[in-house]
Structure 1
Amino acid sequence: MAAVIQQRPRARPAHPAGPTFLTYTPNGKQLVTAGSNNVVRVYATGSDGEPTNLDDCQENNTAIAATNDFFLTGSEDGTVCMYSLDTYTYEKMLTRCTLPIRDIALSPDGQWAAVASDELTVKIVNIEDTFKVLYLRDLPKPAKHLSFDPSGSYIAASCADGIIYVYKVSTEEPELVRKVDGLIRSLDVESESSSRAVWHPDGRAFAAPTATRDIQVVSTGDGERQRAFSGGHMGDVTALAWSPNGALLITAASDRKILLWDVKTQKILARYDYPSVINMAWHPTQNIVSFVTSDGELYIYENFLQPDTSALLQKPMQPSPYIRDPLAETSGNATKVLTNGFKDTSNPREKRRGTPDSLDDILGPELEDEDDFVSDDDGAGYLDDVNGFGKRSNDHLEPIDGFDGKRRATVQAWQPRLHQSFQPGSTPWRGNRKYLCLNLTGFVWTVDQDTHHTVTVEFYDHEYHRDFHFTDPYLYDKACLNENGTLFSCPPANSNPAMVFYRPHETWTTRADWRTQLPAGEDVTSISLSDSYIVVTTSTNYVRIFTLYGTPFRVYRQKSSPTVTCASWRDYILTMGNGPAGGDGSTKLLYTIENVKRDEVCQSEDIVALTEGAQVKSVFFSDNGDPCVYDSTGVLLILQHWRSPGQARWVPVLDTKQLERLASGRKEETYWPVAVAQEKFHCIILKGGDQYPYFPKPLLSEFDFKIPCSNSTALKDAEDSSVLEGPKLEELFVRSSLMLSLLEDLVSSTNATHSQRTELSRREVEVNKSLLQLLNVECREGEERGMKALEIVGLMRDPSGKMVEAAGKVAGRYGRTVLQEKIGELAEKRLLGVEDEDL
């Protein structure tokens, strides 16, 4: 920590004592100040001469903002006026409010001005056409501060109720996207203390003063708290500003101190002793910081940074101080991840120099490098084979031998888009914590403590298991949890290889947990845990199978590669990997299921049935042992006949986008898959734009299976009840037939218990019952539906003939004599052993 700086700039009396404001023009050529008198002063950067004074402005100014061409002032009389920086004259009144103005923020392009007053609505006025006005509503109290993000897409309003309201203003009507509560203090709009949200120059986060006199950084995307600048001030923070490149932060407080912070380490680099500082601004390009006091004095501090810290200002754009920065985690990986979940290995372009912001992601992979923006606009090949002097060489001519090895060598090879590897049930880092596993047994989560992690394992059923947590020096990033134990894995780090760790919940020995290290250069891509085996897939496309207590059981290389994920249930394991490329340029996702104990392959390199552009969000076995997949389109699929080689097929059992709760269109929610049990889809409901569950511990929800047979939303408002009843019964028949088929496969391939055989009989009755109900609807509709009614009877599984007999009684009840006769003929043929297809 540096000592107090002795060199001091001279104080310039700019305005009378009272609230004083300042701002630099974006080009840094001018500094504009306003105060409680009717004079606005414009200082030329680099000149010690007298400023240019505008003497005909309003009195009691409360806000100021500037572009390179004009500046705006707001005053207590409720007016916002515009003045030219070319002629230093009044141009027009931009807008007027009934109550005093409190803040003005200009959009980065200078086209819009956001105005906060003591009213409960914030105006966003177009500079050219003042009749174009947008409004920020939903504010219970007046806004004290306003600030646009660097892209101009969002605006943060620090409200007097102690909440920061973040609006999206890139749409026709501003949309409230987030409320950040518990961060800033509830301050009066006239207070000298600050609650301003100041955006970091890279646009991915903003900082705001807290009630504990710290500066807290909040990420823009999810509103999570990141790094904090703490322990510096003893008084309320009154002003703060980022350096132009985001590497430094300056703060002022009522404790008479200005602090200079290193953004990367959150450490204080220097302390400056100046009382009553209430506003400050960093010069856009130079080592100059200017600030004003409540005494109306202006300080222009040239060479603000000393030689030992000035080098930080020369660095390119620095990232926001995240606890776990997603940019830092992917900066060494040249593979670009597209929004559809695939990796794009075809010519990943570099980020724009010195600006590690989100603009590259916004522009998308289709935008080529900046140097190529004029390349061959009309396809005529003007820039092909251009030499160092900008002239076209003769390389465009055909070679004499008909083969140009040089040009062929420079042709870039096409690469398919690959499915990313993932761990089912885990979430990405959000702030300093993430879930490693979420299922019906419990959940595992970890917290990044910088030097180590702390892992917590919690169970839903505390009668059988105790929660536990431990310090994790290995930095585990994957986990599996079941009734028997917990499995972890960690990536290689600091020349240490990747490792797998298993901890059983209960043993009859003193110590039964074990660790094993993978060979050097091999990383874990996914893990799974069953009652019998542990499965580990790796970056070398190996599938490593261990017994529960660490004995290596089998190692083989997966055919489909790179590996994507795995799941297991009892003696069965399912692995997924990338297969051949499809017509859309992305690889097909292939899966293999095998019985490890019997060394039998049930399905080999079969295709996972996904729609174009979709990706698998999770894969797991149901409580009955049937493989399930939940994809990015919100469809839950279950694998039917998977024990018979070549017979497996993926059946949709629920389309979450067709849930009745979403039919009104008012709810915006998605679902995080957890498990399939008791013929229900267990999930976590994610509200708004959330993609992953977060803390506190989310509640589990469940939805019944509903196979998408018809548009249930369109039929919901039908006046005729039979119009709605028929499709419901048809869906019930298809669903109960599927459940019966899955149970038949289970009973035929295992040593079935008495309860399973009883359940099988019950499900057969359920299928026939749904057909009887459907027959009842058809008979009620009239004689013209007789053909379909007879067809429904033919679908019944009825060895004893009782159900067909019941069907005849249903037809007789409605007076369908012809149909009743046909059903009787059908019953006789079945008794004679004539197959249905011969009828």
Structure 2
Amino acid sequence: MATTTQIRLRGRPAHTAGPTFLSYTPDGTKLTTVGSNNTIRVYKTNLLDGEPSNVDDCQEQNMAVASTNDFFVSGAEDGTVSLYSFDTMSFDKFLMRCSLPVRDITISRDGKWCAVGSDDLIVKIVQTADTSSVMYLRDQIKPVKHIAFDPSSKYIALSCTDGLVYVYSLANDEPELVKKIDGLIRTVETDSEISAKVAWHPDGRAFAAPTATRDIQVMSRGDWENQRVFSNGHMGDITALSWSPNGAMLASAGKDRKILIWETKIQKVIASYDYANVMDLAWHPTKNLLSFTNSDGEVYIFNDFVPAEHAHLVNLSPQPAPFIHDPLSEISANARRPAANGHKDVPLRVRRGTPDSLDDILGSELGDEDDFVIDDDGAGYALGINGNGKRPNGDIVPYGGAAKRLAPAWEPQYHQSFQPGSTPWRGDRKYLCLNLIGFVWTVDQDTHHTVTVEFYDHEEFRDFHFTDTFLYDKACLNENGTLFSSKANDTNPATIFYRPHETWTTRSDWRTQLPKGEDVTAISLSESFVTVTTTSNYVRIYTLFGVPYRVYRQKSSPTVTCASWRDYVLTLGNGPVGADGNTKLLYTIQNIKRDEICQSEDIVALPDGETVKSVFWSDNGDPCIYDSTGTLLTLLHWRTPSQATWVPLLDTRLLSRLASGRKTETYFPVAVASSKFHCIILKGGEQYPYFPRPLLSEFEFEIPLSNTPSAQTEDGDAGGDETKKLEGAYVLKSILTSQQQDLVEFTKSSHSQRTALARMEVEIDKTLLQMMAVECREGEERGMRALEMVNLLRDRSGRMLEAAGKVAERYGRGVLGEKIREVAEERLLRMDED
């Protein structure tokens, strides 16, 4: 409930009537105000009722001010940008001069750079210590009214008079425009009292801006999606807004003569004050104190600004930006571990490329002060992250752990849990499942979700959607039905829901709930069973119509994910900690119906520091994984205990489409079917597909044998390219034949499957003969290599050996022909002995 107070502070006449602005020093000891006259006021925070210090003989009509602990900078209507020293309380130097009035200035957190926005089209960023060092932002086509550095000073946002927001990256020597945002702010003139300023949230992952509808919209950086909105507050245009230093509150002022305090978490007004003509707001860095100025030249220093019933918000640790779905709270983005002291859901640092935890991102003071690393330039080095919220490429600590961290003790690094084929929340929607059957997606409507299931084959299946009050966050889809699961919340335990596509009874869908305190980490669906892995490390198996079939506790924990095919279930979990401090990822494959273990707690073959991005079964029933290196692997001989081997089928980094080096793209894995890798191509640094629904692409398998598909032999001969292609085809066909052979030997194979195996073995021999022909063509010195290929022939009837002899004869390789006849005689002799 908002508190409307009648408290009336006495405005301090700081300047003559006109636009007035203010700025706190980062340490909160001083408050600087500028206005229409040629005097600048500096108030000491510990002397709220004392007289300010004055800096006289300044430029008149100062339109902006920004402070560091040592100096402050003001910008005037005559275009001058001046730097003043707090030590001497006097003018130090001119930073720059603009040809038109200055409208806004901002200083980077480390105090090294000052950005200046004016009625000129170009924004200049000058180094405060060396005014000859200047960066220019040139892409905007209208004047800039507001500018704002993000907390890391790696990004800067410009609010232009045409209603566009330009966001530049300053990570490199040359600024780069990363996003032009339309439809967020309104069009407004540079001399208007109405604000269009972007206010970065203190955690740096989002910013807020006033909209034309008098609301305050939050937008996330990176995906540039609209997040939560602060609405139904002001009845007039917004003139100023500012986040509290910990991000727990937002203060805003409007033409409706109101100053409002919003609680960030719930986006509700918790206090309202009546003050007119407010132009600028500034929170004290540590105290329950807010100062503001108005167009009458007055400054107000409001002690105990947040009412007593909400004053605890001031002392909270850094709070997250108000996302619709915070990526940091997603299971797919945060690993969890059971702590030894009995506490659960403790965020762990996760593997490389993912922020450690919210406290790590926000720089919360955890652990011993002696271990604290000071981020003295605001660039995020103490946090171990760069401006994108990612670990730097040079970060030598695997799995994203930062060097010289606050962690007082060593911690093992766990592999995070994930749901194959799903994406994280992005704004108000996410994909729950993407495969070759169709896709399932959901939209957050605040009080409920709306789930849609769409199919590629509309002749076989019918699309459907429904209102979801259980808030399902995981799904699986196959030819038989759709499986959903939801997290536990205050009103409902974790829930499993299955809906078949067709039924001959009135109602056949079913829903079941997990025991209290147990949540779902992953689900899978086959034509025989429903599999659920949970936070209690249980694997729960149900029939397709909801009959509990088996429950057991997984040996490797915490659980990571699962995948199913017919009667087989593959589960992944964290195993023992290796020498590098990272847990080994273990997998188990079992036949549920026969209650047989095929592979038990075997290690998933991953390079150091890499992760599994997805796990699935191929259409022929072979386990596959896609890892963070962009490599697709399949499991050979998985039906024989202790004989399984992870074999690469494709390394997407070596695709010919990337050979030029000009194209940068990643791939979201979808399926392996028809001996092809099906995926979604992602461009522009994206990690997950988004809406509208992207198209599926497919790539042929290509065994990574050499650097590029066009690699030549050491001698640089013209036949090198053909040889490499044939070698790749030989290895690939051998792998696929091995999988087919296992299928025939360990199942009730059909005639067509056995015929396919025989055909595949013939294809291998044909490839070997082609390789042999290339060797013969290249010269007699290749004879021993050609004979080796003859020995690899699989045909027992002698037809292929006879064909090999004809190849040697065709190229005039007499000695090789004699050797081939000897091989044929030896094989015939062995056959007679058998």
Which interval holds the TM-score relative to the shorter structure?
0.7 to 0.9
1:34 corresponding residue in structure 2? 34
Kept in 2: contact 1:74–1:103 (CA 8 A) = yes
What amino acid is aligned across from residue 473 of structure 2 in structure 1? D
- Which of 753, 764, 774 matches 1:767? 764
What amino acid is aligned across from residue 239 of structure 2 in structure 1? T
1:205 corresponding residue in structure 2? 206
1:258 corresponding residue in structure 2? 259
1:682 corresponding residue in structure 2? 678
What amino acid is aligned across from residue 24 of structure 1 in structure 2? Y
Kept in 2: contact 1:248–1:262 (CA 8 A) = yes
Q: Distance in 2 between matches of 1:414 and 1:57?
A: 56
- Which of 575, 586, 595 matches 2:591? 595
Kept in 1: contact 2:202–2:245 (CA 8 A) = yes
Q: Distance in 2 between matches of 1:706 and 1:303?
A: 67
Asked if residue 708 in structure 1 is aligned to residue 708 in structure 2, the reply is no
CA apart distance, 1:621: 0.4
Cα deviations by residue, 1:748-771 (Å, 9 ceiling, x for unpaired): 333444543443344334323332
Q: Secondary structure of 1:509's partner?
A: coil
2:361 corresponding residue in structure 1? 358
Q: Distance in 2 between matches of 1:797 and 1:187?
A: 78
- The verdict on how the C-alpha distance between 1:89 and 1:553 changes in structure 2, with shifts beyond 3 A counting, is closer
CA apart distance, 1:122: 3.3
Q: Distance in 2 between matches of 1:263 and 1:711?
A: 52
Moved more, 440-449 or 818-827: 818-827
Equivalent residues, number: 788
- The verdict on how the C-alpha distance between 1:186 and 1:442 changes in structure 2, with shifts beyond 3 A counting, is farther
Kept in 2: contact 1:663–1:713 (CA 8 A) = no
Asked if residue 556 in structure 1 is aligned to residue 552 in structure 2, the reply is yes
Q: Distance in 1 between matches of 2:18 and 2:763?
A: 82
Q: Distance in 2 between matches of 1:425 and 1:701?
A: 15
CA apart distance, 1:484: 0.5
Kept in 2: contact 1:778–1:788 (CA 8 A) = yes
Paired residues for 1:498-647 under 5 Å: 498-647=494-643
Q: Distance in 2 between matches of 1:547 and 1:189?
A: 66
Q: Distance in 1 between matches of 2:619 and 2:563?
A: 13
1:379 corresponding residue in structure 2? none
Kept in 2: contact 1:237–1:253 (CA 8 A) = yes
Any stretches of 5+ residues in structure 1 without a counterpart? 375-411
- The verdict on how the C-alpha distance between 1:565 and 1:280 changes in structure 2, with shifts beyond 3 A counting, is closer
2:243 corresponding residue in structure 1? 242
- The verdict on how the C-alpha distance between 1:551 and 1:184 changes in structure 2, with shifts beyond 3 A counting, is same
User: TM-score when scaled to structure 2?
Assistant: 0.85
1:95 corresponding residue in structure 2? 96
Q: Secondary structure of 2:229's partner?
A: strand
Asked if residue 791 in structure 1 is aligned to residue 783 in structure 2, the reply is no
Asked if residue 477 in structure 1 is aligned to residue 476 in structure 2, the reply is no
RMSD: 3.6
Paired residues for 1:113-192 under 5 Å: 113-136=114-137, 138-192=139-193
Q: Distance in 1 between matches of 2:354 and 2:131?
A: 46
Q: Distance in 1 between matches of 2:289 and 2:641?
A: 74
- Which of 714, 720, 723 matches 2:720? 723
Q: Distance in 1 between matches of 2:161 and 2:661?
A: 33
Q: Distance in 2 between matches of 1:180 and 1:638?
A: 43
Asked if residue 369 in structure 1 is aligned to residue 368 in structure 2, the reply is yes
Q: Distance in 1 between matches of 2:652 and 2:103?
A: 46
Q: Distance in 1 between matches of 2:781 and 2:713?
A: 25
Q: Secondary structure of 2:737's partner?
A: helix
2:665 corresponding residue in structure 1? 669
What amino acid is aligned across from residue 281 of structure 1 in structure 2? A
CA apart distance, 1:737: 1.6
Q: Secondary structure of 2:624's partner?
A: strand
- Which of 455, 459, 462 matches 1:463? 459
Q: Distance in 1 between matches of 2:831 and 2:96?
A: 88
CA apart distance, 1:535: 1.9
Q: Distance in 2 between matches of 1:413 and 1:196?
A: 43
CA apart distance, 1:110: 1.7
Moved more, 326-335 or 60-69: 326-335
Cα deviations by residue, 1:136-195 (Å, 9 ceiling, x for unpaired): 454454443222233334333334454434444355544555554432234444444322
Q: Distance in 2 between matches of 1:583 and 1:4?
A: 60
Asked if residue 691 in structure 1 is aligned to residue 691 in structure 2, the reply is no
Cα deviations by residue, 1:47-87 (Å, 9 ceiling, x for unpaired): 56765554433344333212233221223444322122332
- The verdict on how the C-alpha distance between 1:312 and 1:540 changes in structure 2, with shifts beyond 3 A counting, is closer
- The verdict on how the C-alpha distance between 1:657 and 1:159 changes in structure 2, with shifts beyond 3 A counting, is farther
Moved more, 578-587 or 608-617: 578-587
Any stretches of 5+ residues in structure 2 without a counterpart? 337-342, 374-407
2:351 corresponding residue in structure 1? 340
Q: Secondary structure of 1:730's partner?
A: helix
Q: Secondary structure of 1:712's partner?
A: coil
CA apart distance, 1:310: 4.5
2:394 corresponding residue in structure 1? none
| Percent of matched pairs sharing the same residue | 65
- Which of 429, 432, 451 matches 1:433? 429
2:396 corresponding residue in structure 1? none
Q: Distance in 1 between matches of 2:813 and 2:162?
A: 72
CA apart distance, 1:641: 1.8
Kept in 2: contact 1:342–1:586 (CA 8 A) = no
Kept in 2: contact 1:70–1:84 (CA 8 A) = yes
- The verdict on how the C-alpha distance between 1:7 and 1:567 changes in structure 2, with shifts beyond 3 A counting, is closer
- The verdict on how the C-alpha distance between 1:243 and 1:543 changes in structure 2, with shifts beyond 3 A counting, is closer
What amino acid is aligned across from residue 210 of structure 1 in structure 2? T
Q: Secondary structure of 1:245's partner?
A: coil
2:58 corresponding residue in structure 1? 57
Moved more, 277-286 or 5-14: 5-14
1:401 corresponding residue in structure 2? none
- The verdict on how the C-alpha distance between 1:486 and 1:673 changes in structure 2, with shifts beyond 3 A counting, is same
Q: Distance in 2 between matches of 1:30 and 1:415?
A: 42
CA apart distance, 1:294: 4.3
Q: Distance in 2 between matches of 1:265 and 1:168?
A: 31
What amino acid is aligned across from residue 435 of structure 2 in structure 1? N
- The verdict on how the C-alpha distance between 1:194 and 1:802 changes in structure 2, with shifts beyond 3 A counting, is farther
Q: Secondary structure of 2:719's partner?
A: helix
Kept in 1: contact 2:478–2:525 (CA 8 A) = yes
Kept in 1: contact 2:350–2:416 (CA 8 A) = no
Q: Secondary structure of 1:419's partner?
A: coil
Kept in 2: contact 1:671–1:683 (CA 8 A) = yes
CA apart distance, 1:685: 2.9
Q: Distance in 2 between matches of 1:436 and 1:223?
A: 21
- The verdict on how the C-alpha distance between 1:292 and 1:599 changes in structure 2, with shifts beyond 3 A counting, is closer
Q: Distance in 2 between matches of 1:542 and 1:50?
A: 68
CA apart distance, 1:440: 1.5
What amino acid is aligned across from residue 212 of structure 1 in structure 2? T
What amino acid is aligned across from residue 584 of structure 2 in structure 1? K
Kept in 2: contact 1:336–1:343 (CA 8 A) = no
1:104 corresponding residue in structure 2? 105
- The verdict on how the C-alpha distance between 1:22 and 1:441 changes in structure 2, with shifts beyond 3 A counting, is same
Kept in 2: contact 1:341–1:420 (CA 8 A) = no
Q: Secondary structure of 1:164's partner?
A: strand
CA apart distance, 1:342: 12
Q: Secondary structure of 1:108's partner?
A: coil
Q: Secondary structure of 2:723's partner?
A: helix
Paired residues for 1:260-275 under 5 Å: 260-275=261-276
Kept in 2: contact 1:167–1:178 (CA 8 A) = yes
What amino acid is aligned across from residue 586 of structure 2 in structure 1? L
User: TM-score when scaled to structure 1?
Assistant: 0.84
Q: Distance in 2 between matches of 1:224 and 1:616?
A: 27
Q: Distance in 2 between matches of 1:310 and 1:159?
A: 36
Kept in 1: contact 2:559–2:574 (CA 8 A) = yes
What amino acid is aligned across from residue 571 of structure 2 in structure 1? T
